[in-house]
Amino acid sequence: MDSLNGQQTGGGKLTPSAISNYLDQYVVGQDIAKKTLAVAVYSHYRRIGQQRQKAVEIAKSNILLIGPTGTGKTLLCQTLSRVLNVPFVTANATSLAQSKYVNEEIEALLLRLTEKAGGDIARAQHGIVFIDEIDKLKSEAGEQRGTSGERVQHALLKIMEGALVRLGSTQTLDTTNILFICAGAFVGLENITVTTHAFGFISLGSGGSEGNQKILDRLNSRVKPTDLFAFGLIPEFAGRLPIVANLQNLSKELLVKIMVEPRNSIYNQFRELLREEGVELDIELAAFQQIAEMAFEYKVGARSLRGIFEEMLTPVLYLVPDRPDIRRVVIKSLFEEPSLITAP
């Protein structure tokens, strides 16, 4: 990938705003995180395209996503890989920590990236590796150095910086230009950041304008490498994740939008499924609100939405194939039987 100039989305140049707009079609909310990611990936692939043209070498900036479970971290990265048209693989840090052979697991991960690139090593070397639950690698207070989590951090550090990794007996993959995106819930990190955000002493200029206050608030909301170090990540590893994007808990209103608004929303998927049977599916707002209410109580973000939604539709999906006379299904409430409208 020489540059982003040749890539387009929606008929325009693939700029940060175009990337963010593309993400909007598939991911609801998290606007600040989207903009942070859009700028980061744009800068990353521009850097790759300009490496041979610039006398000054621009360092790679890997990304850390921090947010509760079910807030869209994996979905954001999967969607990014689609708009960028680069190979994408995921890994779980907890699984890596449980393995006795971490280096072999990492080699297998990069081999999967190569397979996603159709065996094209050059294309794989411009791919994205997403590692979830990175916060589970932290060292607890009082633990001896050399724990499994710390061992994985050191192993990942090498490939995140850029290293030649042998894949099998014949192929070698250079990780220098692979973008690594790590993610985790980082429960308890907020207790650390509360005590370290102390930029209030910085002069805001004459009178302290509202604009300057916004800058100060943004500085104070940043998660710094020292915060991650205090959380339990080793300094070298924390320092290799200079770009941090925070994802927020999803409200009930956003959970409703997630089911309805994205191009591949749950609602659109099942409307299409029933449309193939010649049936129109119509779900009223109250039903979505009730599903969101239940999902919100489960406290796992959007992850429980599909299960509740499918449970609601199971009787319909069971009945429709045997009832060619049904033309329309209306669901007014999660707690009422669906209305089945037949052909006249």
Q: Which residue's entry shows tokens 């956003």?
A: 254
pLDDT at residue 333 greater than cutoff 80: yes
What is the structure's pLDDT at 278?
A: 95
Burial class of 99 by CB neighbour count within 10 A (0 to 12, 13 to 18, 19+): middle
**Which among 295, 318, 310 is positioned nearest to 249, based on CA atoms?**
295
Report which residue type is found at 62: N
Report which residue type is found at 308: I
**Segment among 5-9, 283-287, 292-296 with least mean pLDDT:** 5-9
What the chain holds in terms of domains, given with CATH numbers, is: 8-246 (3.40.50.300), 252-342 (1.10.8.60)
Residue 182 near residue 65 (C-beta atoms within 8 A): yes
Q: Give me the chain's average pLDDT, please.
A: 86
**Which among 124, 150, 129 is positioned nearest to 138, based on CA atoms?**
150
What is the structure's pLDDT at 170?
A: 81
**Segment among 15-29, 37-51, 228-242, 325-339 with least mean pLDDT:** 37-51
DSSP 181-239: EEEE--TTHHHHHHHH---TTS--TTTT-HHHHHHHHHHHHPPPHHHHHHHT--HHHHH
Helix (H, G, I), strand (E, B) or coil at 342: strand
State pLDDT tens for residues 119-177. Answer: 999 999 999 999 999 999 987 654 554 468 888 999 999 899 899 999 877 889 999 99
Measured CA to CA, the distance from residue 338 to residue 343 in angstroms comes to: 16
The neighbouring-strand residues paired with 167 are: 171
Of the pLDDT bands very low, low, confident and very high (cuts 50, 70, 90), residue 185 is: very high
Residue 69's alpha-carbon distances to 66, 178, 186, 221, in angstroms, are: 10, 25, 10, 20
What is the structure's pLDDT at 217?
A: 53
Q: Are strands 339-342 and 243-246 parallel, antiparallel or unpaired?
A: unpaired
State pLDDT tens for residues 205-258. Answer: 555 566 555 555 555 567 888 899 889 999 999 989 999 999 999 999 999 999
Q: Which residue's entry shows tokens 């290293």?
A: 163
Measured CA to CA, the distance from residue 215 to residue 224 in angstroms comes to: 16
What is the structure's pLDDT at 102?
A: 87
Largest CA distance in the chain: 75
pLDDT at residue 6 greater than cutoff 50: no
Of the pLDDT bands very low, low, confident and very high (cuts 50, 70, 90), residue 92 is: very high
The neighbouring-strand residues paired with 283 are: 331
Task: At 314, give phi and psi (nearest 5°).
Answer: -55, -45
What is the structure's pLDDT at 74?
A: 93
